[in-house]
Amino acid sequence: MPTTETPGAPPAEERVFRPAPSTVIEANVKPAELVEAYRLAAADHPGYWEQAALELEWHRKWDAVLDDSRPPVYRWFPGARTNIVHNALDRHVHIWTKNKLALIWEGEAGDCRKFTYFELYREVNRLAGALRALGVGRGDRVCLYMPPIPETVVAMLATAKIGAVHVFVFAGYAAKFLRERVNEAGAKVLVTADGFYRGGKLINLKAVVDEGLADARPDVAETVVVVRRTGGDIDMQEPRDLYYHDLLRQESPEAATEIMEAGEPLFWLPTSGTTGKPKSVVHSHGGYMVGAHHTFRTVFDIKPTDIHFCTADPGWITGHTYGVYGPLLTGATVILYEGHPLYPQADRLPAIIERYGATIFYATPTLIRMLMRYGPQYPKNRDISTLRLLGSVGEPLGPDAWMWLYKHIGRSNCPVLDTWWQTETGMAMLSPMPISLLKPGSVGKALPGVAADVVDEDGRPVPPGQSGFLVLGKPWPGMLTGLAGDDAAYAAYWEKIPGVYFAGDLARRDEDGYFWIQGRADDVLNIAGHRIGTAEVEAALCSHRFVADAAVIGLPDKIKGEVAKAFVVPSPQWQEAYADADAFASDLRAHVRRELGPIVIVRAVALRESLPRTHSGKILRRVLREEEEAGGKLF
**Interacting residues toward ligand 6R9 by CB under 6 A:** 271-272, 317-318, 393-396, 418-423, 443, 503-505, 517, 520, 616
Task: Quote the least distance from Cβ 423 to ligand 6R9, whole Å.
Answer: 3
The DSSP letter of residue 99 is G
β-partners of residue 268 are 167, 282
CB of 372 to ligand 6R9, least distance (A): 17
CB 119 within 8 A of CB 91: no
Given phi > 0 = left and psi -120 to 50 = alpha, else beta, which region is 450?
beta
- DSSP string of 405-416, one letter each residue: IIIIITTT-S-E
Closest by CA position to 159, among listed 186, 141, 173, 145: 141
Between 322 and 356, CB nearer to ligand 6R9: 322
Cβ at position 144, least distance to ligand 6R9 in Å? 17
- Residue placing its CB nearer to ligand 6R9 in the complex, 359 or 422: 422
- The CB-of-560 to ligand 6R9 minimum distance in angstroms stands at 26
Of 224 and 472, which CB lies nearer to ligand 6R9 in the complex structure? 472
The minimum distance between CB 478 and ligand 6R9, in angstroms, equals: 11
Q: How far is the CB of 543 from ligand 6R9 (least distance, A)?
A: 17
- Helix (H) / strand (E) containing 115: strand 112-116
Question: Which residue is at the shortest CB distance from ligand 6R9?
Answer: 423
CA atoms within 13 A on the CB side of 45: 13
3-state secondary structure string across 549-566: EEEEEEEEECCCEEEEEE
| 310 vs 393, beta carbon nearer ligand 6R9 | 393
> How many C-beta atoms surround the C-beta of residue 576 within 10 A?
7
Residue 423 or 436 with smaller CB distance to ligand 6R9:
423
Q: How far is the CB of 224 from ligand 6R9 (least distance, A)?
A: 27
**Residue 630 CB contacts under 8 Å (≥ 6 apart), including other chains:** none
Smallest distance, Å, CB 460 to ligand 6R9? Answer: 22
CB of 417 to ligand 6R9, least distance (A): 9
Nearer to ligand 6R9, 356 or 402 (CB): 402
Within 8 A by CB and 6+ apart from 69, the residues are none
Strand order in the sheet with 389-392: 112-116, 101-106, 333-337, 307-310, 360-363, 389-392, 416-418
- Amino acid residing at 356: Y
Q: Residue 618 Cβ, how far from ligand 6R9 at the closest point, in Å?
A: 6
Instruction: Tell me how far, at minimum, the Cβ of 624 lies from ligand 6R9, in Å.
Output: 16
Smallest distance, ligand 6R9 to C-beta of residue 265, A:
18
What span, in angstroms and rounded, lies between the C-alpha atoms of 28 and 435?
10
Q: Distance of alpha carbon 577 from its chain centroid, rounded?
A: 37
| CA atoms of 384 and 389, how far apart (whole Å) | 12
The least CB distance from residue 73 to ligand 6R9, in Å, is 21
Q: Are 552 and 541 in contact (CB under 8 A)?
A: yes
Kind of pairing, strands 66-70 and 452-455? unpaired
d(Cα 44, Cα 350) in Å, to the nearest integer?
A: 43
d(CA 43, CA 448) in angstroms, rounded, equals 11
- Cβ-based nearer residue to ligand 6R9, 394 or 449: 394
- How big is the chain, counted in residues? 635
Determine whether 340 is exposed, middle or buried from the number of CB atoms within 10 Å of its CB (0-12, 13-18, 19+): middle
Q: What's the burial of 288, exposed, middle or buried (CB within 10 Å: 0-12/13-18/19+)?
A: buried
CB nearer ligand 6R9, residue 142 or residue 535:
535
Which of 152, 616 has the CB closer to ligand 6R9? Answer: 616
Q: How far is the CB of 457 from ligand 6R9 (least distance, A)?
A: 18
Nearest to 97 by CA among 253, 388, 322, 328: 328
One-character DSSP codes across 378-401? -STT---TT--EEEE-SS--HHHH
Minimum distance, C-beta of residue 395 to ligand 6R9, in the bound complex (Å): 5
**224: β partners:** 190, 241
- Toward ligand 6R9, which CB reaches closer, 77 or 362? 362
Shorter beta-carbon distance to ligand 6R9: residue 279 or 348: 279
Nearest residue (CB) to ligand 6R9, 234 versus 393 = 393
Residue with Cβ nearer ligand 6R9 (223 or 616): 616
What is the rounded CA–CA span in Å between residue 110 and residue 39? 48
Smaller CB distance to ligand 6R9: residue 274 or 330?
A: 274
Nearest residue (CB) to ligand 6R9, 82 versus 543: 543
Q: Which is nearer to ligand 6R9, 351 or 430 (CB)?
A: 430
- CA dist 160 and 143 (Å) reads 12
Q: How far is it, in rounded angstroms, from Cα 605 to Cα 585?
A: 6
Residue 616 C-beta: closest distance to ligand 6R9, Å: 5
Residue type for 312, please?
A
User: Minimal CA–CA distance to 311: which of 340, 271, 289?
Assistant: 340
